[in-house]
């Protein structure tokens, strides 16, 4: 079932615009299919350009503040200039590729709170830009990502939160100006931990997985972070017991530092 949203009315007597997505559920590396429908008004109008893109709402940390910023991280121009005649309907289909690094917004059938990613539509009219609203899409994890996320559940971890942060993770294949962190709350057996965060940075060949272990602060000590990063193939991840892999890492670090 499609998703429609009225985007704009282009001046008095002008055209109206709808974007319809034919499928809301996608994965990184996939394609969002849809069409833009421009309904002519009572006058002819010259459209100088039409484009669609993907936008994310990202956290930006300053010295003492934290703000949110809308970042468009891919864009597709849909042809050149054209005229919409009065009363006519102009339909422009599109297929918008989803970058491999696109953060996931869905896991285990639920929307990850705080994840805002969607398709934007933009019209250029008489040297002015008329941006449309955001049409949300559901980005599901790749099978390799899902295997690692499932492993946390097998160990008793519970999803806590997710966010997108502006910046770069050193030593990874990251190209976008932001990255995602998915946070898990540990079970009792890892009682010295406050949380574990996981970030995925994928491309068409594989992905970097970055884990951050956050220790609970004690009465006479501050909390501390421990990292691990490794590469996973998108098609050869089946041979690893990821729950055992994660438990071994947690047990090694936690035991060595007397966290649990």
Please write the tens of the pLDDT for every residue from 178-220.
Answer: 999 999 999 988 877 888 999 999 999 999 999 998 755 443 3
Residue 116, pLDDT > 50, answer yes
- CA distance linking residue 152 with residue 158, whole number of Å: 8
**What pTM does this model have?**
0.86
State the Cα–Cα distance between residues 96 and 74, nearest whole angstrom: 9
What confidence tens digit (pLDDT) does each residue in 121-140 have?
988 876 556 666 789 999 99
Q: What does the block give as tokens for 178?
A: 């932001």
The reported pLDDT for the residue numbered 129 is 61
Domains of the chain: 3-139 (2.60.40.640), 143-256 (no CATH)
Please give the full DSSP string across 5-73, using - where no structure is assigned.
EEEEE-STT--EEEEEES--EE-TT-EEEEEEEEE--SS-EEE-EEEEEEEEEEEEE-SS-EEEEEEEE
- The yes-or-no verdict on residue 258 having pLDDT over 70 is no
Segment 160-184 mean pLDDT: 95
Q: How far apart are CA 149 and CA 73, in angstroms?
A: 25
């Amino acid at each position: 079932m499609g998703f429609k949203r009225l985007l704009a009315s282009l001046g008095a007597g002008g055209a109206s615009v709808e974007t319809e997505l034919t499928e809301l559920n996608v994965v990184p590396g996939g394609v969002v299919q849809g069409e833009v429908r421009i309904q002519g008004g009572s006058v002819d109008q010259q459209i100088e350009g039409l484009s669609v893109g993907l936008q994310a709402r990202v956290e930006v940390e300053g010295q003492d503040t934290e703000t949110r910023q809308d970042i468009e991280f891919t864009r597709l121009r849909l042809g050149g200039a054209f005229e919409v005649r009065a009363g006519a309907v102009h339909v422009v289909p599109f297929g918008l590729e989803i970058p491999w690094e696109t953060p996931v917004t869905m896991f285990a059938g639920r929307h990850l709170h705080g994840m805002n990613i969607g398709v934007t539509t933009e019209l250029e009219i008489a040297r002015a830009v008329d941006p449309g609203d955001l049409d949300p899409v559901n980005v599901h994890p790749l099978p390799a990502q899902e295997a690692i996320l499932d492993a946390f559940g097998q160990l008793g971890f519970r999803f806590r939160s997710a966010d997108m942060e502006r910046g770069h993770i050193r030593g990874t294949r990251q190209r976008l100006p932001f990255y995602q962190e998915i946070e898990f709350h540990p079970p009792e057996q890892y009682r010295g931990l406050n949380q574990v965060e996981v970030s995925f940075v994928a491309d068409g060949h594989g992905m970097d997985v970055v884990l951050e272990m956050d220790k609970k602060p004690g009465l006479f000590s501050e909390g501390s972070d421990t990292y691990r990063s490794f590469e996973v193939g998108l098609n050869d991840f089946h041979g690893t017991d990821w729950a055992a892999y994660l438990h071994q890492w947690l047990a090694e670090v936690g035991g060595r530092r007397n966290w649990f």
